[in-house]
Structure 1
Amino acid sequence: QNINRVYYGTDTRAFSLLLGSWLALCWPIDRLNASLTTHAARILDGVGIGALLITLLGFFTLPGQSSWTYRGGMFFYSLIGMILIATVVHPGSHMNRWLTNPFFTWIGQRSYGIYVYQLPVMVFYERVVEIGRHPVINALVECLLILAISELSYRLVEQPLAHYQWRYLPASIRHWIDFKMHDWHQWLKVGPVVIICFIALCGLMLPSKPAKKSAVQTRIEKSRQATAAKNKQIAKGKTAKVNVNSKSLQKKYGLTSNQLKAASELKVTAIGDSVMADASQDIQEIMPHAYVDAEVGRQGSATPAVIKDLKAKGQLQKNVILNLGTNGAMDSQTINDILTAIGKDHQVYWITPHVPTRDWEQTVCDQIKQAAKQNANVHVIDWNQAANGHAEWFAQDKVHMNEQGNAYFTRLIVKTILKNK
């Protein structure tokens, strides 16, 4: 299955919790010897410094799209984190003293709030703001919002609850329900709490319903079914004919009859993710020889295996269209593996992604353009630039196209390929 199953699965992530639990059992703070020899203390400090440096290195070198992350990488860094914590809590080590400062103390006291609020802030902020254009600035804004909300939560929720005398709870409840004792100032405090509790109870009592499929999901499913049927026909050597004189086709795709004729004769293999799956029917409508292999959520790291499989089946044409990068940036090794799997004897047309809601948009675009500079057989289809400023081409998620966007997407692919012929 895709990597989300590994990342979000409790069974595939339990090692972090279990390592911490094991440390608490075998390394109890109240039983550790504070009077270590100088040599032992140096060893402990050295291990702690090493674990800290490896942890910092991991922040910059453990990408979410790398297969190694899910084949031991997360476990390795959890193990390193456990070792770092072991050296910090040991009373004979100097790590705790070295790492103690007002900033770290402030962060530590609010760390649970930061952990809790980071996801909702990111989800709602990135729903409104297109962070892809200015990822660093937007990341700083998100951090400030998370810290501000965590500070308010710490002062107004966590600390009052932590110091509340719970034995007085029955009296407090009687006070809250005594309407005569409340003025409007008190209702400003009690009212929102009552409303939130009521909404929460209603939500808990509502029957769970399966999420409805969006229009994009429904269209992608239909496109995949139609594409699979056409792929079978292509594999058998059967293809539909394109009416190159059709005025409706010429108008829909903005192509002349000569361009439609040339497109209908192109033999291509298109490999991509959900964006390619969504546009596959349009692609095969004017390029009936196009064999499309598109998968929702496809990562760049999974693509070399797909290419090898297509080669083995004899379905990798001389012209290869790639639509990868919607779901995350790729490292240089992954890009090299993809191009090596395709081979120098093929012409590669790589589409730059339009993902304005993700911080990797510009990174992927730069990676594709760099690959084109370094490889003579790689050509850029700059969908990112063409789509910029055309919100009317996209669905609500701003990534997948609507019918109009799919037509422009297909038109750009055809024109770029014909231009390089």
Structure 2
Amino acid sequence: MIKEQGEGKSRYMPGLDGLRAISVLAVIAYHMNVSWAPGGLLGVAVFFTLSGYLITDQLVAQWQTAKRIDFAGFWMRRIRRLMPAMFVMLAVVGAWLLLFDPERLASLQGDFVSVSLYFNNWWLIFHQVSYFESFGPPSPLGHLWSIAIEEQFYLIWPILLTVLLRFTKQRGKLMMFILLGAAASTVAMAMIYVPGSDPSRVYYGTDTRAFALLIGAALAVAWPSRSLSAAISDKSRLVFDILGGAGLLAIVWLIWKTNEYDSLLYNGGLALFSVLTAVVTAVLAHPASRVAKAMGCRPLRWIGVRSYSLYLWHFPVIILMNPSGIADDVHAGRALVQIALSLLLAALSWTCIEEPIRRGFRSPFREKIQGWSPFQYRNKRAVSALALMLFLISGYSSLNADRPADPSPAIIDTSSNGQEGTTLPVTDPGIPAVVIPEAPIPMEPQPKSEESSKPATNAGITAIGDSVLLDAAPHLEKLLPGIMIDGKVGRQMYQALDVVDQLKAEGKLGDRIVIELGTNGAFSSKQLRELLSSLQDARKIVLINTRVPRKWQDTVNSTLEEVANEYANTEIMDWYSASKNKQTYFADDGVHLKREGAESYAFLLSKTLQGG
């Protein structure tokens, strides 16, 4: 935290900047789809808890000094600290899109407006935009939902805290009221979350994420930074260091081991993680902590001080520099350039925008900003221009480097929330949208006239799936006459049990069952077990694993493999391995099947069903 004038008796705590650095690096690793940081999204939870602590610490200090909170002054400082850097980033991204991708810019008008007015998280919820399960190129502003939550907190919390402070004189009662609010938010997340479904609603919601901010706020009441003294016993210092070190290791371990589809996260896990973050924050805020001194080392402090600007810039850089327009195809060389450019832009933002405005332009530009800064005043304009040109040129060339000469339309699953879909976007904005029927498509065989006398030898096969199954359906009908295919665009695993129950009721469920689901998102082992248990009378069940260049691919395939081994009548059709390095099988999205891929898919399934 950088001390700001008029915000109470605050002091600089370098250890917290070190924690900020680890958090923003975890978020960057997550957005770059680095395999060893599937839980990098937890970095945002750390930021929330830190913000709740630091802001409440400042406000309570101001109340104790003046018996009032200066709302206008607080909000103005927040505006000066946060808005200028964000609006510069928005202007640069908007200019880039205007020059090189105006169609995409037009489609992102709602993003720009909602980000500018700090209600982006609710805009995403109301428009059912998934944070985790998206096929089209994501918005380069898709990470700013969290900034909206923080701004909403900054707007509302000083007023609520004033009411609490006015009517609650005891620290214990004040903490109790704050923690009750945190508990209500935790319960709201658990109640709204549907296991196995896309968790974006509870991930985005101010109501379902407030617990992290409030846990930090409760810590500020119990552990005010201005009251902490370095004069403590060696035994107490050792306890602090053990707690802080173990807590930091636990945070890193959870970033390594957790993923966004773990249902425990949304059933109290994120709240417990916030408590863990609060413990670490308490240690790092203490002036006697040796862990705090280690976390306040110069490299971590440099990144932590600029963590806000680094958070602003990294995602647009990643998205706009990736040829596919998504962040799921990791390329080491490009990733290094993206990281370096993000750091450069963050340093420029801090040095040229944030720090001068925060100080009211009272400091000379030649003054070195806290920590190391390589930018002298005479070079700032040149470096800024060079950075912007590098951003534009590298992004534009990367975007066009691998673009096919003759793109073809790709049907894309977008209704991952189970909503009925009609018109679906395509990968290239210049290609007309593809219209898909809304209802499930039961496909009854239509044998050719010369084959009309042949018996339907595969009438006992029922295939349930999504649009990938629909891609292969014509070829499956030729190889397996009599097969009944129930496919629906955007279908997910949690919907499969209802489909099975309906087919049973209609007498259309065969004794050989094919399940092709996972294209549109992950699911829990419990859901898959429930589905397979409902099919225990089936002679044979074939689960088809998935090839989808998205974060949930490996989670889906490992879950299928794990659960299939528990059921004697179940086996895996390994489409993931069979399609490896077969780019000609797939449309531009890397998921849906061209004719060659559909024929190979149908042949492999036919062979699997027949036991070959």
**Cα displacement string for residues 55-86 of structure 1 (whole angstroms, at most 9, x for unaligned residues):** 12211332212222222222221221122112
Q: How many angstroms apart in 1 are the aligned matches of 2:350 and 2:576?
A: 45
- Distance apart, 1:19 and its partner CA: 2.9
Change (3 A) 1:284 1:5: farther
Q: Which amino acid aligns with 1:17?
A: L
Aligned twin of 2:447 = 243
Q: Is the 8 A contact 1:349 1:378 kept in 2?
A: yes
Q: How many angstroms apart in 1 are the aligned matches of 2:240 and 2:381?
A: 54
Q: Which has the higher contact order (CA 8 A, sep 6+)?
A: 2
Q: 2:589 aligns with which of 393, 397, 405?
A: 397
Q: Secondary structure at the match of 1:145?
A: helix
Q: How many angstroms apart in 2 are the aligned matches of 1:93 and 1:346?
A: 64
Aligned twin of 2:263 = 67
Aligned twin of 1:104 = 300
**Runs of at least 5 residues in structure 2 that lack an aligned partner in the other structure:** 1-196, 363-379, 392-421
Question: Are positions 1:89 and 2:285 aligned together?
Answer: yes
Aligned twin of 1:268 = 461
- Distance apart, 1:141 and its partner CA: 4.7
Q: How many angstroms apart in 1 are the aligned matches of 2:520 and 2:337?
A: 25
Aligned twin of 1:150 = 342
Aligned twin of 1:292 = 486
Q: Which amino acid aligns with 1:147?
A: I
**Runs of at least 5 residues in structure 1 that lack an aligned partner in the other structure:** 170-184, 197-210, 232-239, 247-256
Moved more, 274-283 or 26-35: 274-283
**Cα displacement string for residues 283-310 of structure 1 (whole angstroms, at most 9, x for unaligned residues):** 6796555252656262x5x378558756
Change (3 A) 1:90 1:337: farther
Q: 1:214 aligns with which of 425, 432, 447?
A: 425
- Distance apart, 1:35 and its partner CA: 2.3
Change (3 A) 1:270 1:35: farther
- Distance apart, 1:3 and its partner CA: 1.8
Q: Secondary structure at the match of 1:225?
A: coil
Q: Is the 8 A contact 1:351 1:381 kept in 2?
A: yes
Alignment of 1:305-324 (within 5 A): 309=501, 313=505, 317-324=510-517
- Distance apart, 1:324 and its partner CA: 3.2
Q: How many angstroms apart in 2 are the aligned matches of 1:142 and 1:111?
A: 21
**Cα displacement string for residues 359-412 of structure 1 (whole angstroms, at most 9, x for unaligned residues):** 554675566567767765433434334444554554432212357755654454
Question: Are positions 1:119 and 2:315 aligned together?
Answer: yes
Length, aligned pairs only? 361
- Distance apart, 1:159 and its partner CA: 1.0
Normalising by the residue count of structure 1, what TM-score does the alignment of the two structures yield? Answer: 0.66
**Cα displacement string for residues 225-273 of structure 1 (whole angstroms, at most 9, x for unaligned residues):** 152xx38xxxxxxxx4531556xxxxxxxxxx69x96776332333444
Q: Is the 8 A contact 2:490 2:520 kept in 1?
A: no
Question: Are positions 1:343 and 2:529 aligned together?
Answer: no
Change (3 A) 1:323 1:8: farther
Q: Is the 8 A contact 1:272 1:323 kept in 2?
A: yes
Q: 1:53 aligns with which of 249, 256, 259?
A: 249
Q: How many angstroms apart in 2 are the aligned matches of 1:19 and 1:66?
A: 22
Q: Is the 8 A contact 1:242 1:264 kept in 2?
A: no
Q: Is the 8 A contact 2:219 2:282 kept in 1?
A: yes
Q: Secondary structure at the match of 2:424?
A: coil
Q: Is the 8 A contact 1:307 1:316 kept in 2?
A: no
Change (3 A) 1:315 1:32: farther
Bigger-Rg structure (1/2)? 1
Q: Is the 8 A contact 1:62 1:73 kept in 2?
A: no
Q: Secondary structure at the match of 1:350?
A: strand
Aligned twin of 1:379 = 571
Change (3 A) 1:338 1:226: closer
Change (3 A) 1:12 1:397: farther
Q: 2:610 aligns with which of 415, 418, 421?
A: 418
Change (3 A) 1:106 1:377: farther
- Distance apart, 1:33 and its partner CA: 3.0
Q: Secondary structure at the match of 2:610?
A: helix
Change (3 A) 1:337 1:112: farther
Q: Which amino acid aligns with 1:148?
A: A
Q: Secondary structure at the match of 2:547?
A: coil
Alignment of 1:125-144 (within 5 A): 127-128=323-324, 138=330, 140-141=332-333, 143-144=335-336
Q: Percent identity?
A: 25
Give the number of the structure whose residues are more often helix, by fraction.
1
- Distance apart, 1:17 and its partner CA: 3.1
